[in-house]
Structure 1
Amino acid sequence: MSQSQFLTYINEFMITRRYAKRTIETYIYWMKKYILFHNKQHPSSLSERDVECFLTYLSTQNNVAPGTQAIALNALVFLYKEIIQAPLTLSLDFNKSSRQAKLPTVLTPEEVTALLNAVTAQYSLLAKLMYGSGLRLMEAVRMRIQDIDFDYLCLLVWRGKGNKNRRVTLAKELVEPLKQQQVICKRFYDIDMKNKDYQGVWLPHALAKKYPAASRELGWHYLFPSSRLSRDHHGNNAIRRHHIDETSLQKAVKSAAKQAGLRKNVSCHTLRHSFATHLLQRGCDIRTVQEQLGHVDVRTTQIYTHVIQAGANGVRSPLSDL
């Protein structure tokens, strides 16, 4: 079996077991890197020592972040346990990456205003949700119509990073724009339901099995639908309407930052960083910010206190006394 055939087999294996598309792509990427690193030798002919060498290489030569090295390790653990059926031991000895995490890029409130004003109308609401509610990129584009609670001004985030669910705040200024967006979704829905080939929106396997009619209900449809129908990649080729492509939103934010004249390295995640920092600057309790962001460990949230303390809100420069 050639390398491409082997990776295709793994791809199909993961699809049939309902792994997320992004997880499949990431695991395949690192498996391919691993195979190429060992001169295209089949993983079944390699030992744990070869795994250790690859992981050490990522740390010492590629200088990858600890999180990146951990993802590569997870991919290889899956490969040997599920595909090769020779699980790796827990005593792997490799050079663990210790690269210091970068401080997040944070915009001032004035810079956020300039950025949001420069985002094109098509992506304006999404950008405002990421800043106003601290959403991750994929949490924003995967939002469903029924995930908005107007009565309590909050959004329901299902299966976020780490497969966690949470409630996040909703700015009252976004209530009317969101209701207008729901009207747009209803128009798409009415058109799709008249299409005899349309098989409803995609749902996680367990939900689709438990609620077989849910995929055709309006509330389960994406709040930011794609402009075109597509085939479901999960194996049955069903005709569905997916959410918008996240890369188009990323490009829109990058373009808006350039148009606004911002010199910082701005991405969609910068809006989430700015949300957290601005909450803390307003006196919000760090535990509350942790819950809003969906962090498991408060130490992850504390990086935003470092951003504040490193600037004008922290140590006073001696130059001011001259």
Structure 2
Amino acid sequence: MKIEIKPYDDSFVAVSFPEGFNTDLLNSVRKIPKRIWNNDEKIWLVPNTQETLDQLKMNVYNTGLFNVNDEIPDEEQTPLLPEDSTRRMLEILKAKNYSQKTCEVYKKWVEAFLLKYNHRNNLGQKEINDFLTELAVKKHVSPSTQNQALASLLFYFRFVKNENPVELASVIHAKKKERIPVVFSRQEVVSVINNLIGSKKLAAELMYGTGMRLNEVLALRILDVNFDMNEIIVRHGKGDKDRHVMLPQKLVPKIKEQIEAVRKIHQKDLEDGWGKVAMPNQLDKKYPTAAKEFKWQWLFPQA
């Protein structure tokens, strides 16, 4: 009896029974919430989450059809992504200032690649080409998703396996679709902003007036707003780069009001024994009391 579990797309994992199945094995999949039967490919699709996969493995184990002590050929004993390789890959990614989300995405694609080829040790450029081509031809992924998978595999081969795949010309690339961007008119933007209130409205006005991203606005601290220089410092933006943006004069009174509101919240928090914020780059170790200083508080604090 054999069961195959392979990545299908970003949302689902494919489950199939190459050697046939019985009622117990079939029910182990049917017990999974939100599972889907793909009649065209004759496979089950289950949600690609850790909780779902753990439940599936437990259901399969409980059928009694598989012995966890059965010997596995040496070629298949290699873990999905060896722990040492995973640790090494994450260490290099972090050393190169890749974001946590990018680390997770790279790891996901490398795991999917190794799983497709049954964890073989002799994987190379041909398998990379085939994997990327399948994403475009069969999975119909977007060009950006295919490029993301390529970047993940190249990073793994170059920095973990110390190989440098270069013959990738045979890859069938996903076609980039030309689309006319949808752009709000000025009146539409004003209409959206006017339907917001309080700090959320100010945050939206800052995004529109400065070009900052949502996460950049939410990560602003009091000290990042410089009224004398008429600018805002955006720290750790895209690519982990800092930059300056102009401070819209129309928003200066509102920002000052927001700062005073934060001052009152901070004072109340200090009186209640709180008032500390997370500090960047372990500055809390160098300056133990800085986390309670007003200038380090968030411009848009949350509960």
| Same-fold call, TM cutoff 0.5 | yes
Asked if residue 220 in structure 1 is aligned to residue 296 in structure 2, the reply is yes
Q: Give the whole-Å Cα distance in 2 for the aligned partners of 1:47 and 1:191.
A: 60
Q: Deviations over 1:231-253 (max 9, x none)?
A: xxxxxxxxxxxxxxxxxxxxxxx
Q: TM-score, with normalisation over the residues of structure 2?
A: 0.58
RMSD of the TM alignment (CA)?
3.8
Equivalent in 101, 106, 113 of residue 34 of structure 1: 113
Number of the residue aligned with 1:156:
233
Shift of 1:106: 0.7
Equivalent in 69, 76, 80 of residue 153 of structure 2: 76
**Contact 1:65/1:101 (<8 A) preserved:** no
Q: 149-158 or 103-112: which moved more?
A: 149-158
Number of the residue aligned with 1:287:
none
Instruction: Name the structure with the higher helix share.
Output: 1
Number of the residue aligned with 1:233:
none
Q: Deviations over 1:119-151 (max 9, x none)?
A: 354521211111111112222222222221223
Equivalent in 251, 260, 284 of residue 174 of structure 1: 251
Q: Give the whole-Å Cα distance in 1 for the aligned partners of 2:268 and 2:125.
A: 55
The 3-state SS of whatever aligns with 2:180 is coil
Q: Deviations over 1:88-132 (max 9, x none)?
A: 334433233440453332111111111111235452121111111
Q: Give the whole-Å Cα distance in 1 for the aligned partners of 2:163 and 2:272.
A: 47
Instruction: Name the structure with the higher strand share.
Output: 2
Shift of 1:28: 3.0
Asked if residue 131 in structure 1 is aligned to residue 208 in structure 2, the reply is yes
**Contact 1:116/1:124 (<8 A) preserved:** yes
* Greater RCO structure (CA 8 Å; 6+ sep): 1
Q: How does 1:147-296 map to 2 (within 5 A)?
A: 147-190=224-267, 200-204=277-281, 214-227=290-303
Q: Deviations over 1:197-243 (max 9, x none)?
A: 886413136x677767654543333322231xxxxxxxxxxxxxxxx
Q: TM-score, with normalisation over the residues of structure 1?
A: 0.55
The 3-state SS of whatever aligns with 2:245 is strand
Task: Specify the structure having the higher radius of gyration (Cα).
Answer: 2
- Tell me the number of residue pairs that the alignment of Structure 1 and Structure 2 aligns: 223
Distance 1:214 1:87, change over 3 A: farther
Consecutive unaligned residues of structure 2, counting only runs of 5 or more, are: 1-77
Distance 1:76 1:43, change over 3 A: farther
Identity across matched positions, percent: 29
